[in-house]
Amino acid sequence: MSAWPKSSVCSPWGTEVLWPATLLGAVGGLALASIPGALLGGLLGQVVDRRLRLHSWAALRERLGGKPYPGDEELLFVLLGRLAKCDGRVLQAHILQARAEMQRLGLDAAGQQRAAAAFARGKTGRDGLRAPLRRQREQAEALLRACWRMAWVDGRVSQTERELILLWGKWLAVSMATQQVLSAAYAPKQASVAASGGSYQQALLLLGVTADSEPAQIKRAYRRLLSRHHPDKLAGSGVTPERLREATEKTRELHQAYGLVRQCRGFR
């Protein structure tokens, strides 16, 4: 059995838990008094780790007054907030997509509040994300899928968005080939539609859906809105001609929006 104090152990979930004060104490003791100093420093550091519950460098950093890393549950929404804001303005489509991710994860009311706070925190761009992302390599594909969904929500991916996601993928040890596959999974099917990102985004907003909504959801939303606004529903009910014209125009807009989304997503 080694006489060196252990600076890390395996958690019940199989991931390594680092005891930073133990490691620092051992290294400092070794420098000052060779092996006996390392043993004593390691033991003292272990006491500090256990008393203060320092199970990671992030925990030590927070104890020393530094800004804490985002927690595992918050990290996704910090990333999404960073993407939404990276080109200068957060669109309504970005907010709807963040809400869709909350629903996808089945978050309760408290979880949604934490996610919204993390999204807002991500928009500031102040978090260092390299270290927390390196701890999430087992969840790499799920994180990157959500990021590509957010990036494509307005029908196009900007250079800044692409560079961010590729950088995060590098920290997550994801290959460029895998990144291309993930991006393509959420890209509009036709380049001509992708080029008219503004129109695509407006169509999604008009229908009340997001870029990754299932075709069945999009169809239901379209039919529900069409039933609500169709001028035939108003005929003979004493409404004014102006109201009928508005309903006709609204119906036309719904037809166009649904046609654009259907063309973009490639379903009938």
Give pLDDT tens digits for 157-214: 899 999 999 999 999 999 999 999 889 888 765 434 443 445 777 888 889 888 778 8
Residues 23 and 100 in one domain: no
Backbone angles phi, psi at 9, to 5 degrees: -140, 170
How many independent structural domains does the chain possess? 3
> Taking residues 5-11, what's their average pLDDT?
43
Q: Which two tokens stand for residue 211?
A: 């870029």
User: What is each CA distance from 31 to 19, 93, 121, 127, in whole angstroms?
Assistant: 19, 56, 40, 33
Residues 44 and 96 in one domain: no
User: What is each CA distance from 126 to 78, 96, 120, 170, 239, in whole angstroms?
Assistant: 10, 23, 11, 20, 54
Looking at residue 199, what is its pLDDT? 78
**Residue 175 CB neighbours (<10 A):** 10
Q: How far apart are the first and last CA of the chain?
A: 67
Which of these three, 154, 187, 220, is where a domain ends? Answer: 187
Which residue is listed with tokens 């989304």?
Answer: 261
pLDDT tens-digit readout, 16-34: 445 767 877 777 777 787 8
* Residues contacting 267, CB < 8 A, separation 6+: 215
Looking at residue 244, what is its pLDDT? 66
Looking at residue 103, what is its pLDDT? 85
Which residue is listed with tokens 């500031």?
Answer: 124
Q: Any idea of the CA torsion for 216, 201, 155, 209, to the nearest 10 degrees?
A: -20
Instruction: Tell me how far apart the alpha carbons of residues 242 and 135 are, in angstroms, rounded to a whole number.
Output: 60
Q: Domain for residue 2, yes or no?
A: no
- Whole-number mean pLDDT of the chain? 78
With a cut of 50, say whether residue 36 has pLDDT above it: yes
With a cut of 50, say whether residue 15 has pLDDT above it: no
Residues 234 and 144 in one domain: no
CB 122 within 8 A of CB 79: yes
Q: Domain for residue 128, yes or no?
A: yes
Beta strands in the chain (DSSP E): 8-10, 16-18
Mapped onto helix, strand or coil, the DSSP state of residue 10 is strand
**Residue 142 CB neighbours (<10 A):** 12
Instruction: Tell me how far apart the alpha carbons of residues 212 and 217 are, in angstroms, rounded to a whole number.
Output: 10
* Residues contacting 26, CB < 8 A, separation 6+: 4, 5, 7, 38, 39, 41, 42, 45
Residues 183 and 204 in one domain: no
Q: Domain for residue 172, yes or no?
A: yes
CB 55 within 8 A of CB 49: yes
User: Can you give the residue range of the structural domain that contains 58?
Assistant: 8-63
* Residues contacting 135, CB < 8 A, separation 6+: 15, 72
Alpha helices in 196-240 (DSSP H): 197-207, 215-229
Looking at residue 60, what is its pLDDT? 57
CB 42 within 8 A of CB 22: yes
Backbone angles phi, psi at 126, to 5 degrees: -95, -15
Which of these three, 143, 165, 187, is where a domain ends? Answer: 187
> Taking residues 135-161, what's their average pLDDT?
89
Residues 201 and 247 in one domain: yes
With a cut of 70, say whether residue 61 has pLDDT above it: no
Which of these three, 20, 42, 63, is where a domain ends? Answer: 63
pLDDT-above-90 percentage for the chain: 24
Q: Domain for residue 256, yes or no?
A: yes
Residues 76 and 178 in one domain: yes
